[in-house]
Amino acid sequence: MNISPSIFSFFSGAGFLDLGFETSGFNIAYVNEIFPPFIAAYRHAREVLKLPLPEYGYHHGEASDVTKLIAGSPAQRLNELVKDCRKSHHIIGFIGGPPCPDFSIGGKNRGHLGDNGKLSASYIELICRHQPDFFLFENVKGLWRTTKHRLFFESLKIQLQQAGYILTERLINAIEYGVPQDRDRIILIGFRENFLKDMGINHEVAFPWKNHILYPKEKVFAYPWRECEPFQENSLIPCPDNIPQELTVEYWFGKNNVLNHPNAKHYFQPRAGMIKFAAVDEGDDSKKSFKRLHRWRYSPTACYGNNEVHLHPYKMRRISVAEALAIQSLPANFILPENITLTNMFKTIGNGVPYLAAKALAQTILDFLDLRN
C-alpha cells in the first residue's frame, strides 16, 4: 500500500526523531517546540537538508497549552489542523518525547509533579483528545524502571487504553540500531483500536519490535571492547579485529568527516584545568563528569548538561558539536546554525532521539501497518 502517513510532532527539539520518520516515508505536517533556539536549529537543518516546510508550519509554544480548547487558542488551532489533515491523509500519527529530567535517575527525580514531568501527562491528554491513528511516546528508562515513576507511567497507559488505544512498549537501546552510543529509552507506541480494525490488522498480532535491530543487546555488550589506556594526544591506535568497528566513535568521526564539518570548531574552550583533561585515561567514563571517550568503543549516553563533560579520545579538548552529532548518528550534512549558543547546541543534541533509532522505529511502525512501498 502506497500511503504517506502525516506526523504531528511535539517537543520537537532540532528534529532528530522527525528526520528519522521523514526519511522512512512519513510526512511531517506539524512541528511544536517551546524553546526558540531549538526551533531555529530545526528550521536551519531542514533548509540545509533541502527538506520541504512542514505542511502546517512551526508552532512555538508549550504543548500543554494545546490541551486548553478555547476559541482562538493553540488547542483550537491544533484541533482544526488535525481535522483538515484527515481530509487529505489516510493516517495521522503524533510523535514526541516530553522533557525527561524529572524521571532521570541522574536528574531532578521530581517525577510527575515536576514541571517537565507534567508535560508527559499533557502529551497523553493531547493524544486522548485528538485521537491520532497512532502515537509514539519516548522517555528515559527511569520512568519505566523506577518504582515510584512506574506507577505514573502505568496510570498514563490506563488513560490511553480507556481512550481506545492498543499499546505496546519496549526498553530500547540506541546501539541496537547502529548508533555508536549506549542509550536506554522507553518507547510506548499505541494504535487506535478502531483504526486497526479499519486497516484489517489483528491487534493481537505482536508488534515487530525486533525487525530492524542490527545488534542485539546481549551480543553487542559481550564483545571485548577496549577499556582504558593512558591518554596520549594525537596518538594512533589501530582498530581491534574482534569488535564491530561501525559502532565506535572513531568510525563515526570518519564517516561524518567531523574535522571538516561546519560545526567542527564549535566546542567549549576550557579557561583552566588542562592538566585535569590530560589526567583522564582514554576510555575512562567512570566518573559523573570528565568522561573521556575511547576511539574504538561506543559512547556513553549523549548527555552534555548538568556539568557532564565528554572529552575527545585523543585530543586535549571536549568533543565538538560535529562529533556529538556523529555520536547521535545524524547524517554528515545535518548542521546546527552558528547563531545559537554552544550550550543550546549541546542541549538540543543531548535531548534528541538518535537518528538511526528514530528511523528504525518509524520503519517498524510501517512494517506493522503493512505500508511498505
Q: What DSSP line would sit under 193-221, residue for residue?
A: HHHHHHHT--TTSPP-TTTT-SS-HHHHT
Alpha helices of 69-227 — where are they, by DSSP H?
74-88, 115-130, 141-145, 147-162, 193-199, 217-220
The SS3 assignment for 354 reads coil
**E strand or H helix that includes residue 349:** helix 342-351
Q: Retrieve residue 161's grid coordinates.
A: 487504553
- How many angstroms separate the CA atoms of 124 and 197, rounded? 22
Report CA torsion sign: 130, 135, 141, 144: positive
Q: Which residues are tagged catalytic?
A: 100
Phi and psi torsions of 261, nearest 5°? -75, 150
Using a 10 angstrom Cβ sphere, with 0-12 exposed, 13-18 middle and 19 or more buried, the burial of residue 195 is buried
d(CA 98, CA 77): 21
